[in-house]
Amino acid sequence: MKYVINPQYHLRGWYKSPTGLFDTRKKEAFFFSKEHYLLLLRCNGVHEIDESTLTEANLRFLEDLKKKDIIREASFLDYLLPEQEYRTYPARYRKHVHWSITGACNLRCRHCFMSAPHAKHGTPSREQLLKVVDQLAECGVFTVGITGGEPLIREDFFEILDALAKHRIGVSILYTNGWLVDEALLDKLEERKMHPNFQLSFDGVGWHDFLRGVPGAEEKTIQALKLLKERHYNVSVSMCIHRGNRDSLRETVRLMASLGVRSMKCGSMMELGEWADKEVKDLHLTRQEELELFEAYIPQYFEDDAPLSIMMADTLMYTPGDDQWRIYDVRRVTEEEGKKAPSCGVLLSNFYIGADGMVAPCMGMCDCGFAEHFPNLFETPLRDILHDSELTDLCTATVEDVRSHNPKCRECRFIDRCTGGCRNSVLMKADDYYGIDEDVCYFFENGWEERITRAAEEPFREYLKRNPPKKKNGGGPDAMQEEDPYL
């Protein structure tokens, strides 16, 4: 019998990951064992596969490929298309890049951690951005999230999108403040058959203008959200919480849900950039205040029938329809599992490119003291940065790397449920990449796992009575899987 791989799948390999199959619709690669990959390579419409000679494991693999519609029986002269043929990329596999195409912005946000009101990280030229696109394609990076500053202020915005499209690089999400989101923008996207997700910020009913520094920003954002709902775009929102707007959380979630927002992330500011200014720093919530706010809001969220997916920073995460919620900070990793388990699952597949060319594991690291360790692709080719480098070592840090670096971790009674916290949070306060996230320590040491659980249990049971679960995702407080904040 002859088989051939279906057209949406391309045979691809990356440095240290040579056995990949790239799904051109989902813009995602899957990797197989060498033995299975050799069998997959024979599914080219040319080679005969005698199933009677296959091992039981290879037979199951072949049947799985058929069931998933990855391969089909080959008809006469039914071969792989040229673009499906095997090729390799000179870099480690990265599924997604979070790319800042400008460091400038049309608003004056009081809390901007990258100081976009002053374009601290610069405004790259058209030629520089087009070269970045070429390098992404060379390295096999096929999805981008476009951000700024404010990306829509660039006059060459659609030229950049056209360059990405030429290389079949998908724009999965567009980060914008919403001021320039209008019918014309969406028309131009749809002319190009682009329909990205949008992420906007909304910083509290009656408070958005204050934080964004420009009168009318709240009205503009609401108009943008209404338009995106009308045009059937998936929209997520982030809310930066401070002493002024914390009492508006419930009202804000309700409003966002009514405007078609599907998911919302809320948490306090990073003490970097503009937010480090003495005039606004006093608005910052303490860790205790932030956790008390979420503890009080969790019952209200379920009383309101969980109107949208939510992530309350480091605490409760829930998607309507799931049969369990989970606590973000709780990740159960044994000592043996920690040798391979990533410190941050997101960093295994994502990375950030700044407007100044900086390549960092995460956008929030762009203005920290440790930033001098990050390479710059205007100086060093991306293929070298994503090969063997300090950056790739940082992105592949394991739980064991963090635990072995910190004696406190090895002696901690919560080691079975904590993985050392967020590398971004660590670098906001110190220049030790493998250091301890003290916010996570505070969470466990002060009984917040139990307090959040108590706050959620009974309201969640009552919520499920009114809204029986539609799916099961293996979530709940003990779940291991990390959510991707960009997708």
Per residue in 446-483, pLDDT tens? 999 999 999 999 999 999 999 999 865 443 333 323 33
Helix (H, G, I), strand (E, B) or coil at 19: strand
Give strand pairing partners of 235: 198
Across residues 405-422, what is the average pLDDT?
Answer: 89
Helix (H, G, I), strand (E, B) or coil at 42: coil
Banded model confidence at residue 364, pLDDT cuts 50, 70, 90: confident
Give tens-digit pLDDT for 86-137: 999 999 999 999 999 999 999 998 888 777 777 778 899 999 999 999 999 9
Q: Please say whether the beta carbons of 158 and 393 come within 8 A.
A: no
Per-residue pLDDT at 479: 31
Distances 460 to 311, 320, 472 between C-alpha atoms, Å? 15, 11, 15
User: Which pTM does this prediction carry?
Assistant: 0.91
352: which 2 tokens?
A: 């950030």
What b-and-e string marks burial along 180-213, b requiring 16 or more CB atoms within 10 Å of the CB?
bbeeebbeebeeeebebbbbbbbbbbebbbbbbb
Per-residue pLDDT at 279: 65
d(CA 23, CA 223): 36
d(CA 30, CA 91): 16
Q: Please say whether the beta carbons of 248 and 205 come within 8 A.
A: yes
Nearest to 385 by CA among 361, 367, 365: 361
Q: Tell me the helix, strand and coil percentages in the chain, rounded to 5.
A: 40, 20, 45
- What is the average pLDDT value for the chain, to the nearest integer? 92
